[in-house]
Structure 1
């Protein structure tokens, strides 16, 4: 009989909350968080209830502002921007470096908040914090050459990002933007990351860096954060529907923009025999339940190799570990090693389950259906946000699982007979961030890869978003505006020589990577 699990001592939400109150009393008040604008923490906004995806327990909810307050916050940020853009680069570098030291000092608390707020397993939560800190330190070393001959924008940078990487995507971007001489504004993601971002911004603000952090619905705040004339650039990470609306707005206004949107990243298998390499890659692809912009939820497989593919895929997907991220059998045990914990909320788990059931009703064939192991959860806990891996063969083209990114642990497999069918199936979403083609011959890869509509294409290995000097962007509807990475991330939020044309995926032209 398996031992009964319990929360590891010191990891409860109440423990994390009390630690946050102690570390940053200016940003947390009793049972709520505050908004940060005009250089100080404001008690405005209407707080909403929130629950943790880990077990359904109550956690701090967002203090949502209305549009009028958001407009005030943007105007105050512009005032900060006008002062900050004249701060000498050595001083900006010193302040950002001090903020990074503070973030590193509170790494464990930031990580624990991420576990409770967005369900990241401990290993991945720590990695999110580490990537933010280490990534910005690289920019500290290279910012001199990246900003040579350039100047900050005329107004602050507005950041609207999804909930899945609060530190390594959102905080990382904010600090690089500030290092380049801009005041920065961020909206807390609707679905999670509020307390972690609040703590991070409190530590950053203490170093005199002009950051603004506000909560509110996208519809209520978009007028201020996207359309406001004070905003110098809009940086967005999220879904295509919201991204399309923002793209229309910023294009009409002629505003600088970086819009990373969802795309169906695909893994093609054609004339391939190295099945051990594919099998070894499968578990890694399930990190964080495929709730990543560079996840691979679609395999496009040559029909004649389908039996060999299954022989490699099924044992690997059967090894995936999911469960409560903070549950241990003995207080002295380390936190569990998991591939993923809950999805972002119970509604998402329910939605994916319904999409899968509908696809099966219309002809998709279940290839693998995982189960939740009760020995990996607390006795009687709410598991409504958890979904075990699921794999479907040939989803109907009418299914959302065929065209859209599921953003969860649901794989689909599409069988093809010709190279033309392979390419059509790999390009089903009209543009993606990453793709991979597993094929034995370099000649086949060289011939087919340019026809795959993804920004980064791996040969038998996954591609990632990348860090530091690595270029990142997307094709089609997966990206709009300036490409980023290394100096291009800095160039996207600074002014260069007159007539400069930023490389990116703009409506009027595209630059091939």
Structure 2
């Protein structure tokens, strides 16, 4: 393979045959490289290679498939610095955080490998004498996996690993915004020979490539992490072939800080949940609902923590890098300006010189108070380092405002009132709830959204089983 070979079909790397798309360094706004896109013929061949390889892969003993995943995880660890450098370069993620992402991706391979002997069927009673009914789990077939840019390598493994352990073959379309780490990881993994040719394929390109991949009739499942509108377009495409979909979409997570909360714990947790990865996390706390009795004390603590975060060159020892690109920068800075014009108070943060470079997409951790439910900031996902604080007076108001969104991914609650906590975990409309802690899902949990935050989910038992389908066997032996 050569640096220009970014398409993998049946274990062979080749150059994309369609127009190249630029990958931009968000710290300088300079083009890192052009990545050529796959054309229709390459997309078709990639899906065909997966369809041809999948039946034999499904017949391989599960423990052998697990060994392949462990080898893939070891490969990521052996090349940690190279992959972390690519993530740092294309995403603007601080190098220490980029190393954590590679380590996390390797751990995901190893965790999912443990499902080789844990996927179980069922035996149910039959109506007839001398008959058994068996429910077994079988692969779905060819899986199209479309990844996002905020955690490019982690999300790549989060989809590929469970698809492979359950006997499926995969065609990956990495995000065109930050594809380099995924491409290089795939090159390194295929070079080890741990996977048979055709089991893991990769095509590059933008939305048109993703749409063509999803529309192929041989694709039986589509898993995507990204924007809500993209997810809806994928569902419409999938309806034509009745392919399954698993969509991990956006969020607008509320964080309720009740009057009896440990304010230092809450401030630490929400600062991380608001500003980690420059706020570019689907589970970020985007609406912070603080009881009036402790509002000022909490805001003081949150501002103090925001001001301590270091923003700068991600290759150095900093906490935050830039946001990903011009589009995201414009969205975040417009949200700040609009919040100010609608009556919000900028308590710290902002964007632009003199404290930040003129080149690049830099935004400081920003705390905004005097936010009200009728403001644009309250009602739109910003996906940036903004912490909007809303003052509340009652539990009923907190729940009403928390649930007044089309999303339903994550929520946070800080309280020591057992009765209130139990009511809130019943009343909050979300797929995952963090109580007295910051964001960060566990591999053995289940990361899933309700409402417009998606369909399906990732991680744990349910994240693996979604890549299977049930086959019912009526076995008469009399």
**TM-score, reference length from structure 1:** 0.82
Change over 3 Å in CA distance of 1:211–1:253 after alignment to 2 = same
On the 8 A contact 2:144/2:219 being kept in 1, the answer is yes
Q: SS state of the match for residue 266, structure 1? A: strand
CA RMSD of aligned residues (A): 2.4
Comparing 396-405 with 173-182, which one deviates more in the overlay? 396-405
Q: SS state of the match for residue 389, structure 1? A: strand
Match of 2:449 in 1: 474
Match of 1:321 in 2: 310
Shift of 1:82: 2.9
Which runs of 5 or more residues in structure 2 are unaligned? 122-134, 474-478
Alignment partners' CA distance in 1, 2:428 and 2:280: 23
On the 8 A contact 2:18/2:36 being kept in 1, the answer is yes
Change over 3 Å in CA distance of 1:34–1:169 after alignment to 2 = closer
Match of 2:129 in 1: none
Match of 1:457 in 2: 433
On the 8 A contact 1:261/1:478 being kept in 2, the answer is yes
On the 8 A contact 2:412/2:435 being kept in 1, the answer is yes
On the 8 A contact 2:250/2:407 being kept in 1, the answer is no
1:132 to 83, 100, 105: 105
1:486 to 447, 455, 460: 460
1:212 to 191, 201, 204: 201
Match of 1:123 in 2: 96
Match of 1:445 in 2: 421
Q: SS state of the match for residue 454, structure 1? A: coil
Change over 3 Å in CA distance of 1:147–1:37 after alignment to 2 = farther
Match of 2:380 in 1: 404
Change over 3 Å in CA distance of 1:391–1:228 after alignment to 2 = same
| Structure 1 residues 294-325: Cα deviation after superposition (integer angstroms, max 9, x where no partner) | 21122012233322222222211111111001
Alignment partners' CA distance in 2, 1:116 and 1:343: 12
Match of 2:297 in 1: 308
On the 8 A contact 2:211/2:237 being kept in 1, the answer is no
On the 8 A contact 1:362/1:396 being kept in 2, the answer is no
On the 8 A contact 2:109/2:157 being kept in 1, the answer is no
Alignment partners' CA distance in 2, 1:268 and 1:292: 18
Change over 3 Å in CA distance of 1:159–1:151 after alignment to 2 = same
Shift of 1:152: 4.3
Alignment partners' CA distance in 1, 2:177 and 2:120: 35
Alignment partners' CA distance in 1, 2:363 and 2:93: 14
Shift of 1:105: 0.6
Shift of 1:214: 1.0
Query: Does residue 259 of structure 2 align to residue 271 of structure 1?
Result: yes
**TM-score, reference length from structure 2:** 0.88
On the 8 A contact 2:248/2:457 being kept in 1, the answer is no
On the 8 A contact 2:333/2:351 being kept in 1, the answer is no
Which runs of 5 or more residues in structure 1 are unaligned? 1-25, 327-334, 500-513
Counterpart mapping for 1:339-418 below 5 A: 339-370=319-350, 383-395=359-371, 397=373, 399-418=375-394
Alignment partners' CA distance in 1, 2:138 and 2:13: 26
Q: SS state of the match for residue 359, structure 2? A: coil
Match of 1:236 in 2: 224
Change over 3 Å in CA distance of 1:124–1:64 after alignment to 2 = same
On the 8 A contact 1:432/1:474 being kept in 2, the answer is yes
Query: Does residue 149 of structure 2 align to residue 177 of structure 1?
Result: no
Change over 3 Å in CA distance of 1:268–1:397 after alignment to 2 = closer
Query: Does residue 38 of structure 2 align to residue 82 of structure 1?
Result: no
Shift of 1:97: 2.2
Alignment partners' CA distance in 1, 2:414 and 2:226: 28
Match of 1:190 in 2: 176
Change over 3 Å in CA distance of 1:185–1:279 after alignment to 2 = same
1:158 to 134, 139, 144: 144
Match of 1:435 in 2: 411
Shift of 1:267: 0.5
Alignment partners' CA distance in 1, 2:21 and 2:243: 32
2:269 to 281, 304, 308: 281
| Structure 1 residues 201-227: Cα deviation after superposition (integer angstroms, max 9, x where no partner) | 112223234211111221x22443223
Change over 3 Å in CA distance of 1:117–1:382 after alignment to 2 = farther
Change over 3 Å in CA distance of 1:406–1:33 after alignment to 2 = farther
Shift of 1:127: 0.9
Alignment partners' CA distance in 2, 1:454 and 1:59: 38
On the 8 A contact 1:318/1:370 being kept in 2, the answer is no
Count of aligned pairs between the two proteins: 454
| Structure 1 residues 227-284: Cα deviation after superposition (integer angstroms, max 9, x where no partner) | 3221121111111111122234435643222111101011112222421212332442
In terms of fraction of residues, the more strand-rich structure is 2
Shift of 1:172: 3.4
Shift of 1:93: 2.3
On the 8 A contact 1:349/1:385 being kept in 2, the answer is yes
Shift of 1:117: 0.7
Match of 1:145 in 2: 118
Query: Does residue 3 of structure 2 align to residue 35 of structure 1?
Result: no
